[in-house]
Amino acid sequence: MQHNQLEIIDSISTGVIAMDADLQVLAINAAGQAMLELSEARSMRLHASRLVADSSQWIATLVQAQEGGSPVARRGMALLLLNGHEIHVDLIATPNPDIHSPSKLVVELQAVDRLLRISREEGRLNAQETTRAVVRGLAHEIKNPLGGVRGAAQLLARELPDPRLSEYTEIIIREADRLRDLVDKLLGPNQNPRMSAINIHEVIEHVRNLIIAETDNRITIIRDYDPSLPELPGDRSQLIQAILNIMRNALQAAPELDDCQITLRTRSQRQFTVGTKRHRIICRVDIIDNGGGIPEELQHAIFVPMVTGRADGTGLGLSIAQSIIDQHSGQILCSSTTGRTRFSIYLPMESQDAESH
């Protein structure tokens, strides 16, 4: 395949795989690699059955197209990847009638999960904007009388005949300050990110060192970094806060610190859509813990302020983390089962990579 043809195929969001008569991979575009989470080097000359973990339905579809000599389509087919993740795709397997071409079968994969995720993300952004508008209005209504209560308590403290009574006015002032701070946290970051080129691994390592210090080195942290990732635009302090909030959430979910294990993983991902923007390449940071998992009834609302599964929780940590990542034009996704919870942070590598979707 010519170089310009490869560039065109790599630029599309549909996964394309060319196979020979023995169902060995001859070519796979960037979207196909991202979908199957396999690099081109690992995929080349690999038999189709070795591209996924459970290949029975996958191979049956390819063989049907090959032997029947006509395209075969499957909608919403489940594919279990080699890393244990399951994806759902619309698949079209088309035989190549050109007897002179080494490519005998072309497989197109369209991730259904991706389209559903985009739809859910648009709904989440709209709901989040509505929530923020309500919170901003509520914060205004709360902070104004709080200021008056605090000021009145200060004036009252000056007029009290017995200094011992000032203990009560101090309680009023402290509680007013606590409520003011809580409202400020509800509003999220109060300033726009100061973007500069940062090394995402330096940010993660900084957070890792903070967590190690907080836990007295009692937890296990596994690092699985992609050293080829370039610098990306971001606000270092805000990203530290976002990752720290997620890792602290993992700690709080652990029954015992000594049994807590957190995996930090970085990867690049191609042809990924955030909101209405499609990025040619994006940085993915996975934070995986082995805790008890997030209750199913809370999973849809974990980023909503004040929603928490813990009696002593504020429900603000994940909300603040999401606000920070949103300001970086990124996204946080979460999947959780008992014994494995994964938060995936997606950050654009370069702002100019974004295209309207």
Burial 71-91 (b: 16+ CB within 10 A, else e): ebebeebebebeeeeebbbbb
| Tens digit of each residue's pLDDT (9 = 90 or more) over 67-95 | 999 999 999 888 989 888 888 899 999 99
Options 3.30.70.20, 3.90.550.10, 3.30.450.20, 1.10.3720.10; which CATH number does 3-116 get? Answer: 3.30.450.20
Is the pLDDT reported for residue 309 higher than 60? no
Domain 3-116 and domain 196-356 have a common topology: no
What letter would DSSP give residue 24?
A: B
Is the pLDDT reported for residue 355 higher than 50? no
- Average pLDDT estimate for 327-340: 88
| Tens digit of each residue's pLDDT (9 = 90 or more) over 199-221 | 999 999 999 999 999 898 899 99
Structure tokens at 227: 């050293």
For position 205, what pLDDT does the model report? 96
For position 230, what pLDDT does the model report? 92
Burial 149-185 (b: 16+ CB within 10 A, else e): ebeebeeebeeeeeeeeeeebeebbeebeeebeebeb
For position 356, what pLDDT does the model report? 43
Share of the chain above pLDDT 90, in %: 38
For position 354, what pLDDT does the model report? 43
180 compared with 64, residue with greater pLDDT: 64
SS3 341: strand
Q: What class is the 196-356 domain?
A: alpha beta
Query: Would you place residue 357 in the very low, low, confident or very high pLDDT band (cuts 50, 70, 90)?
Result: very low
Strongest mean pLDDT among 16-20, 98-102, 288-292, 338-342: 16-20
Q: How far apart are CA 324 and CA 322, in angstroms?
A: 5
- Contact between 257 and 239 under an 8 Å Cβ cutoff? The reply is no
| Tens digit of each residue's pLDDT (9 = 90 or more) over 235-245 | 999 999 999 99
Structure tokens at 140: 């205004």
Of 119-128, 152-161, 248-257, the range with the lowest mean pLDDT is: 119-128
First to last CA, the chain: 27
- Contact between 219 and 254 under an 8 Å Cβ cutoff? The reply is yes
Three-class SS string for 164-203?
Answer: HHHHHHHHHHHHHHHHHHHHHHHHCCCCCCCCEEECHHHH
SS3 97: coil
For position 265, what pLDDT does the model report? 96
Structure tokens at 222: 């596994």
| Tens digit of each residue's pLDDT (9 = 90 or more) over 91-150 | 999 999 888 888 899 999 988 876 666 666 666 666 666 666 676 677 767 777 888 888
Can you list the pairs that 328-332 forms with residues at least 24 positions away whose Cβ atoms lie under 8 Å? 328/193, 328/233, 328/234, 328/235, 328/238, 328/239, 329/274, 329/275, 329/277, 329/354, 330/274, 331/121, 331/274, 331/275, 332/246, 332/303
352 compared with 224, residue with greater pLDDT: 224
Please report, for the chain, the start and end positions of each structural domain, with discontinuous segments joined by +: 3-116, 120-187, 196-356
Query: Would you place residue 288 in the very low, low, confident or very high pLDDT band (cuts 50, 70, 90)?
Result: very high
